[in-house]
Amino acid sequence: MKKFPPTLHLFVTVVWMIVALYMIFLYAPQEATMGEVQRIFYQHVPAGLSAFIAYFVVFLGSVIYLWKRTKFADDLAYAAAEVGFVFCTCVLVTGPLWAKPAWGIWWTWDARLTSTFILWLLFIAYLMLRAHLINPGRAEVLGAVVGIIGFVDVIVDYMAIRWWRTQHPQPVFMGGPGSGLDPRMKLTFLVSWGAFLCLFWYLVRQRMALLVAQRELGWLRRQLALRES
């Protein structure tokens, strides 16, 4: 981690994002039935997959924290939850903006949309728990429990379009027969997803550094107060 300085990480993210935007608007062909609005897909799906990964990191960090009680695992889970919430918000913003011209409605309570909305609420629940419980150790443990139990929703959310008939489009990757993308669209999607993951990881690193610094400052304050008393 230390071998990849944050400034370089930010630079790589920005360049990658610019390349992704170039490919989205100038390289990827226009979709035949939906037209230009289909290009929302290149932000909506990578943001959604990144939100899934974020919750998986929360789950993993929570399990490791409950098992080994390492602060690093807890910081990782907390940071991933906050960044995951941002990505999940992007999914819930871009989805309706695609749905309105494609379906004629902004929203419908089908299995995929509802489970994604629940995922967003889970991120909020986790963050509220961490922000408002001040008992040392209690917020970490309860947060980890939410992080683990909530992972069930990620599985349901991911599988929803495979298990049930939904208004939401069927998967284009690892879907049934007839699914798939034009090679240029596929490459554009992969580059865009890579850029989103690079941004996700950069933000998680920044947030973790902030958590560590806040804890160290708190510790310093307590030491000084003890010395003065």
Partner 1 sequence: MGNNYLFAAYALVWIIFMVYAWNISRRQAQLRKDLEELKRSQRST
Which residue ranges make up the site for partner 1 (CB under 8 A)?
Answer: 34-37, 39-40, 43-44, 47, 83, 86, 89-90, 93-94, 97-98, 100-101, 199, 203, 206-207, 210, 213-214, 217, 220-221, 224, 228
- Three-state DSSP at 35 gives strand
- Three-state DSSP at 4 gives coil
Print burial letters for 33-63: b (CB count within 10 Å at least 16), e (below 16).
eeeeebbbbbbbbbbbbbbbbbbebbbbbbb
* Shorter beta-carbon distance to partner 1: residue 68 or 229: 229
Beta carbon of residue 196, minimum distance to partner 1 (angstroms, whole number): 10
Neighbours of 185 (CB within 10 A): 21
* Shorter beta-carbon distance to partner 1: residue 116 or 144: 116
| β-pair partners for 35 | 31
Separation between Cα atoms, residue 61 and residue 77, nearest integer Å: 5
* Shorter beta-carbon distance to partner 1: residue 43 or 188: 43
Neighbours of 162 (CB within 10 A): 13
* Shorter beta-carbon distance to partner 1: residue 174 or 225: 225
